[in-house]
Amino acid sequence: MNISIRFLLMSVLCASLSPTLSLAEKSPEPAHLDALVDEALANNPEIKASEARWQAFSERVRQAGTFEDPMLMLKIQNALVRDPLNFNRDFMTAKVIGISQMLPFFGKRALQREGAERAAEGERWSFAERKLELRRMVKETWYQLYFVDRSLEIVEKNIGILDDLTRFTETMYGVGQGLQQDVLKAQVERSKMEDMRISLRQKRRSLEATLNTLLYRPAGTVVPTIAEVDLTPVDFDDAELERLAAENRPLIRALAAQVEKARVSRKLGEKEFYPDFTVALEYMQRDPAMGEKGFDMYGAGVTFNLPVQRERRHAMIAEAESETRMAQEELNMLRNQIRFGIADALAQLERSRKLAELYRGGIIPQAGHSLEAAMAAYRVGKADFMNVLDSQMALFNFEREYYDAVAEHQMQLAQLEGVVGKELP
């Protein structure tokens, strides 16, 4: 009886040595990351709002630098109060029509247009930066789901094994060949697995809701099980990635556009020390009166403001200079953050890659061999049940840590792509 039961244990536990790393291949209808990213970029309301904001700023370019509308004037001049509607009693009475146009000082309109162009350019790159951020968020959520799916598969597998072990220990204890503590320990480990399964299922629903929100789907939309993921190698050094960031990061260009806009604002402030002009032309129609023929007349003139409020104009220039320094320092701060982000991401990528390779090529196979040795020793009565159970749980933990390292590596890659501003080949 003892030998047959122990061989039953062997057959049950041998299933645990089959590589859990291949279970993901059985997932039906896996979702595709690139398709989800495209869907998010097409449907996300924040992206659409950002695009509309950019288009609104683009329309301001057409408005900037244009002339103000001309002013049309209609008036009665020198009419008699005692007979206001009689225009031929006094030869000085005239019906006047005039038109005037305000002309900004030379160069102001071009600067206004250039400032609007720089503002629109900044919004354009801010829109591209938000798309980049959304792409990163979708990828990170995807890889978190990947880790949860792999963990659920491992937990499901181990729950089945622990159920068999629990029945086995109960049988051994029932025939007087096992210990009650073996039964209790197996039950406790099984309960821990059940607790972990509940937590993982809740976490997956939360991640599903997060991903669906990014995709602008109903929160309850089911996301299929994520298929197996391979580590993506990164063959770039710090200098190459910094160069790519300088060429591709949208936020760098957005801040550069802000710097240029502030410089244009300063030039426009300097132009405010010069007057704007208003030219006018009037035609006066007069009726014959008092023996006078009432010749028609015209008037022409030019008016301009006197820029005597110099304190206000000096403040405008000082404000523009402060905006220039602020935008320039924000640009320097971003470049500094990019350098740190690249260095940190490369270090994290190397760590997670080495850990994944260590678990897959070393620790997991070694843990499998340790479990086989514990089973063999237990079969011949040279080891107790606790050694077998501990070896099984160690293998379980190492498999989860492997997938954790893979998911962490891919999430760090997504973050690095966000720092650089483009997908890395």
**Contact in structure between 281 and 99 (CB atoms under 8 Å):** yes
Domain that holds residue 91: 70-103+276-306
* Residue where a domain terminates, one of 262, 286, 306: 306
Q: What is the band of 142 on the pLDDT scale with cuts at 50, 70, 90?
A: very high
**218 shares its domain with 126:** yes
Number of domains in the chain: 2
Query: What are 276-332's pLDDT values in tens digits?
Result: 999 999 999 888 877 677 788 889 999 999 988 889 889 999 999 999 999 999 999
**61 shares its domain with 76:** no
Domain contains 77: yes
Q: Which residue has the higher pLDDT, 5 or 359?
A: 359
Query: What are 59-81's pLDDT values in tens digits?
Result: 888 888 888 889 999 998 888 88
Could you give the CA distance from residue 361 to residue 418 in angstroms, rounded to a whole number? Answer: 30
Domain contains 171: yes
Q: For residue 349, give both structure tokens.
A: 């990528």
Domain contains 247: yes
pTM attached to this predicted model: 0.80
Please determine, for residue 16, whether its predicted confidence score (pLDDT) is greater than 50: no
**114 shares its domain with 228:** yes
What does the pLDDT read at residue 1? 42
Query: What are 17-56's pLDDT values in tens digits?
Result: 444 444 333 444 556 888 899 999 999 999 999 999 999 9
Q: For residue 90, give both structure tokens.
A: 């006094």
**244 shares its domain with 335:** yes
Give kind and range of the element (H or E) at residue 68: none
**Contact in structure between 16 and 158 (CB atoms under 8 Å):** yes
Please determine, for residue 175, whether its predicted confidence score (pLDDT) is greater than 50: yes
Exposure string of 286-321, with b = 16+ CB inside 10 Å and e = fewer, is bbebeeeebeeeeeeeeeeeeeeeeeebeebbeebe
**CATH code, domain with 253:** 1.20.1600.10
Query: What are 266-290's pLDDT values in tens digits?
Result: 999 989 899 999 999 999 988 887 7
What's the first-to-final CA gap in the chain, in angstroms?
60
What does the pLDDT read at residue 28? 41
Could you give the CA distance from residue 257 to residue 123 in angstroms, rounded to a whole number? Answer: 9
Q: What is the band of 15 on the pLDDT scale with cuts at 50, 70, 90?
A: very low
What does the pLDDT read at residue 133? 92
**165 shares its domain with 225:** yes
